Amino acid sequence: MKMLINSPETVVADALSGLAAAHPDLDVDVERRVVVRRDARESGRVGLVSGGGSGHEPLHAGFVGYGMLSAACPGEVFTSPVPEQMLRAASAVDAGQGVLFVVKNYTGDVLNFQMAAELAEEDGVRVESVLVNDDVAVTDSTYTAGRRGTGATLFVEKIAGAAAEAGAPLEQVAEIARRVNECSRSFGVALSACSTPASGGPTFDLPDGEMELGVGIHGEPGRERRAMMPSREIAEVAVGAVFEELRELPPADGPVLALVNGMGATPLLELYGFHAEVARLLEARGVPVARALVGNYVTSLDMAGCSVTLCRADEEMLRLWDAPVQTAALRWGR
């Protein structure tokens, strides 16, 4: 596989150096692997910290900035960051109002963020943690006990970040973050495997003409493999799987936030076409789409495919979603 890198050993450090050069409003510690919003402590507000393995960009470092995350901790490719990174991030953004950890449900992330929270509390930093586990495809999978955390991570970070930006206390920021997760469901589809820099080749075998339904963001197995289908049929499977659980959430006739997320190698031409199918299916079910986002936000290196995330949104969530945000990867209203 051809990759635009210097070496597998330096790929994360090189990417962080590039992030620092492109976005001088961020404080990027390349050696210690922490990305911090420069004015995080000056705000006097609750700090938001998230992180995970690299390879999912722009998640999470691309979402550090006004109205979203205060800091992010990138690990090695598909590998959890370590508690020291998380502790350093919490200390860097704590302005006396406490820190919220946003944690995707992968075993390494969960254990390391838990340890970091305990260490931060010992240092006098109040910490709340929110677990994101929105994936409906499988209950247990590689790296995971329980459901995987995927596209809803973006919804949680944006909406909780807006609440923190507005000056909400830690308990309230944590409550809205948990509510967003509880109201969100996701389903992913892979058309090809991803390739890690270390392996230089596909991380799993997906024969030509086949697709994986319910794939995880590291290429973990999903529900089943099928022969390749047209976009409309793929959308029917994905929306059907999500809506099967979403319809249980009140209000039954409420609007949704919709995310059609690319896995890294699928062009916008295809993603917008896929979103048209998603919108058609939701309209047929009588589900209004209040806001839609289409693009590559929670990726899996160079995997071809996409995921669908729907969040049953109330008025408060929509107001916080619409609030200004200015990060490397997401910005509006400012």
Q: Residue 190 belongs to a domain with what CATH number? A: 3.30.1180.20
Identify whether residues 159 and 240 lie together within a single domain: no
pLDDT value, residue 195: 94
Identify whether residues 149 and 267 lie together within a single domain: no
Q: Which residues have C-beta within 8 Å of that of residue 180, sequence separation ≥ 6?
A: 152, 155, 156, 159, 160, 311, 317
Count of CB atoms situated within 10 Å of the CB of 31: 7
| Comparison of pLDDT for 252 and 229, the residue scoring more | 229
pLDDT value, residue 154: 98
CA torsion, points 220, 221, 225, 231, in degrees to nearest 10?
-40
CATH number assigned to the domain comprising residue 26 = 3.40.50.10440
Do 257 and 287 form a contact (C-beta atoms < 8 A)?
no
Count of CB atoms situated within 10 Å of the CB of 19: 20
Identify whether residues 20 and 169 lie together within a single domain: yes
Of the candidates 80, 82, 84, 70, the one whose C-alpha atom is nearest the C-alpha of residue 36 is: 70
Residue at 3 is within a domain = no
Point out the least confidently predicted range of 90-94, 177-181, 244-248: 244-248
- Does the pLDDT of residue 144 top 80, yes or no? no
Q: Which two tokens stand for residue 92?
A: 């860097």
CA distance 16 to 18: 5
Residue at 1 is within a domain = no
The residue type of 229 is M
The angle subtended at Cα 39 by Cα 72 and Cα 161, nearest 5°, is 55
pLDDT value, residue 277: 98
Domain containing residue 285: 184-332
Q: Which of 155, 182, 209 is the last residue of a domain?
A: 182
Count of CB atoms situated within 10 Å of the CB of 272: 12
Do 51 and 81 form a contact (C-beta atoms < 8 A)?
yes
pLDDT value, residue 168: 98
Identify whether residues 240 and 113 lie together within a single domain: no
pLDDT value, residue 33: 98
CA torsion, points 211, 228, 267, 261, in degrees to nearest 10?
-50
Q: Which of 142, 164, 182 is the last residue of a domain?
A: 182
Total count of domains within the chain: 2
Q: Which of 182, 215, 231 is the last residue of a domain?
A: 182
User: Which pLDDT band holds residue 107 (cuts at 50, 70, 90)?
Assistant: very high
Q: Catalytic residue positions? A: 56, 218
Identify whether residues 201 and 323 lie together within a single domain: yes
Q: What average pLDDT does this structure show over 272-294?
A: 97
Identify whether residues 217 and 84 lie together within a single domain: no
Q: What average pLDDT does this structure show over 172-199?
A: 96
Q: What average pLDDT does this structure show over 238-266?
A: 92
Identify whether residues 17 and 134 lie together within a single domain: yes
CA distance 182 to 312: 9
pLDDT value, residue 141: 74
Half-sphere exposure of 161 (CA within 13 A, CB side): 32
CA distance 300 to 204: 13
Q: State the angle between helix axes of 268-284 and 231-246 in degrees (0 to 180), rounded to the nearest 10.
A: 50
The residue type of 311 is C
